[in-house]
Amino acid sequence: RFQACVYFASVFQAMSCGIHYLASVFMAVTPNFVCGFPGNVSSVLFHNFSASSLQDTWTLWTSADNYIVVQLENGDIWELNQCSRSKREDSSDLAYEYQGNKSVFPCSDGFLYDDTKWKSTVVTQWDLVCDREWLAKLIQPTFMLGVLIGAVIFGDIADRLGRQRVIWFTSAGQFVFGIAVAFTFDYYSFVVVRFLLAMVSSGYLVVAFVYVTEFVGIKARTWASMHVHAFFAVGIMIVALVGFLVRTWWVYQIFLSIATIPFVLCCWMLPETPFWLLSEERYEEAQKVINIMARWNKINTPCKVSELYSVQQDDQVSDRTGEKDTSSAKKHNILDLFCNWQIARRTITVWLIWFTGSLGYYVFSLSSVSLGGNEYLNLFLIGAVELPCYIIACIAMDKLGRRNTLIPFLILSALICVLIMFIPQDFNILIILANMAGKFSIGVAFGLIYLYTAELYPTIVRSLAVGSGSMMCRVGSVVAPFCVYLRSVWIFMPLLLVGIMALLSGILTIMLPETLGKPLTNTLVEATEMGRNKKSCSGKTPPAHSGTAPEKIEMFGQETISTEK
Which among 270, 287, 308 is the end of a domain? 270
Which among 59, 88, 116 is the end of a domain? 116
- My answer on whether 14 and 52 are in the same domain is no
Answer whether residue 279 shows pLDDT above 80: no
Provide the pLDDT for residue 101: 84
- My answer on whether 53 and 83 are in the same domain is yes
- My answer on whether 146 and 174 are in the same domain is yes
**Half-sphere exposure of residue 186, counting CA atoms within 13 Å on the CB side?**
1
Q: What is the distance between the alpha carbons of residues 436 and 386, in angstroms, rounded to a whole number?
A: 9
**Per the domain annotation, does 296 fall within a domain?**
no
Q: Each residue of 476-518: pLDDT tens digit?
A: 988 999 999 898 888 899 999 999 999 999 999 999 988 887 8
**Per the domain annotation, does 298 fall within a domain?**
no
Provide the pLDDT for residue 463: 64
- My answer on whether 221 and 364 are in the same domain is no
The predicted model gives 345-360 an average pLDDT of 93
Q: What is the distance between the alpha carbons of residues 23 and 440, in angstroms, rounded to a whole number?
A: 21
Q: Name, in order, each residue with C-beta under 8 angstroms of 529's C-beta and a sequence gap of 6 or more.
A: 537, 540, 541
Answer whether residue 294 shows pLDDT above 80: yes
Q: What angle do CA 177, 183, 187 make, to 5 degrees?
A: 90
**Per the domain annotation, does 368 fall within a domain?**
yes
Above pLDDT 90, what percent of the chain? 30
Which among 270, 305, 326 is the end of a domain? 270
Q: 47, 75 in Cβ contact below 8 A?
A: no
- My answer on whether 7 and 85 are in the same domain is no
- My answer on whether 387 and 357 are in the same domain is yes
**Per the domain annotation, does 536 fall within a domain?**
no
The β-bridge relationship of strands 68-72 and 49-51 is unpaired
Answer whether residue 539 shows pLDDT above 50: no
Provide the pLDDT for residue 497: 94
Question: Residue 358: which CATH number?
Answer: 1.20.1250.20
Per the DSSP assignment, residues forming a β-bridge with 51 are 44
SS3 550: helix
The predicted model gives 112-120 an average pLDDT of 88
Above pLDDT 70, what percent of the chain? 88
Q: Give the pLDDT band of residue 302 (cuts 50, 70, 90).
A: low
Helices (H) and strands (E) in the chain, counts: 25, 8
SS3 234: helix
Q: 532, 342 in Cβ contact below 8 A?
A: yes
**Per the domain annotation, does 164 fall within a domain?**
yes
**Per the domain annotation, does 544 fall within a domain?**
no
- My answer on whether 422 and 508 are in the same domain is yes
Which stretch of DSSP H or E encloses residue 34?
strand 33-35
Which stretch of DSSP H or E encloses residue 87?
strand 85-88
DSSP for residue 218: H
User: Domain tally for the chain?
Assistant: 3
Q: By CB neighbour count within 10 A (0-12 exposed, 13-18 middle, 19+ buried), where does 145 fall?
A: middle
The predicted model gives 114-128 an average pLDDT of 91
Higher per-residue confidence, 326 vs 91? 91
Answer whether residue 183 shows pLDDT above 90: yes
Lowest-pLDDT range, 127-141, 156-170, 536-550? Answer: 536-550
Q: Each residue of 392-437: pLDDT tens digit?
A: 888 888 888 889 999 999 999 999 999 999 998 888 889 999 999 9
**Per the domain annotation, does 382 fall within a domain?**
yes
- My answer on whether 406 and 509 are in the same domain is yes
- My answer on whether 23 and 129 are in the same domain is yes
- My answer on whether 246 and 359 are in the same domain is no
Residues written for the chain? 565
Q: Each residue of 33-77: pLDDT tens digit?
A: 888 888 788 888 887 777 777 777 887 777 667 788 888 888 888
Structural domain for 102, as ranges: 33-116
Provide the pLDDT for residue 499: 94
Provide the pLDDT for residue 549: 35
Higher per-residue confidence, 18 vs 152? 18
> Cβ–Cβ contacts within 10 Å for residue 52, how many?
10
- My answer on whether 373 and 494 are in the same domain is yes
Provide the pLDDT for residue 426: 83
Q: What is the distance between the alpha carbons of residues 459 and 559, in angstroms, rounded to a whole number?
A: 9
> Cβ–Cβ contacts within 10 Å for residue 440, how many?
22
Answer whether residue 372 shows pLDDT above 80: no
Q: Give the pLDDT band of residue 308 (cuts 50, 70, 90).
A: low
Lowest-pLDDT range, 94-103, 105-114, 144-153, 351-360? Answer: 94-103
- My answer on whether 138 and 86 are in the same domain is no
Q: Give the pLDDT band of residue 79 (cuts 50, 70, 90).
A: confident
**Per the domain annotation, does 289 fall within a domain?**
no
Answer whether residue 160 shows pLDDT above 90: no
Provide the pLDDT for residue 503: 95
